[in-house]
Amino acid sequence: MDQRNVVLYARSHSLNGWRAARLLRRIGCYFEVIDTRRSPKVLVELSKAARHKVSPPYVYVDHRPVGGMGTVRALVGSGTFGHLLRDDL
């Protein structure tokens, strides 16, 4: 699949981060993982970019905030996430 750049911001060794990575893998998404425990300042920057407080796991596509796992799960369920990855919207 030719897709946009996807970044998953998650805490290392967290159950929610593992679930987020599993969901993205299940749909065939290639992504980079940024460990927010190793770079705590990254959450401050993510919150500024998203214009609200961000808590991991959180997904960005091409440097644009998509949302937390509830949002991503809903987008995957509706088929919209796949379109977002391929720029079909």
Q: 12-41, pLDDT tens digit by residue?
A: 888 999 999 999 999 999 999 999 888 778
Q: What is the pLDDT of residue 27?
A: 92
Average pLDDT, the chain: 87
With the CA atoms of 68, 37, 6 and 26 taken in that order, what torsion angle do they form, in degrees rounded to the nearest 10? -70
Percent of the chain exceeding pLDDT 90 equals 48
Domains recognised in the chain with CATH numbers: 6-86 (3.40.30.10)
H or E element that contains 58: strand 58-61
Amino acid identity of residue 11, one-letter, is R
The pTM assigned to this predicted structure is 0.85
Bigger pLDDT: 54 or 86? 86
Q: What is the pLDDT of residue 75?
A: 95
Q: Is the dihedral of CA 1, 32, 20, 85 positive or negative?
A: negative
Q: Is the dihedral of CA 10, 12, 18, 22 positive or negative?
A: positive
Q: What is the pLDDT of residue 7?
A: 94
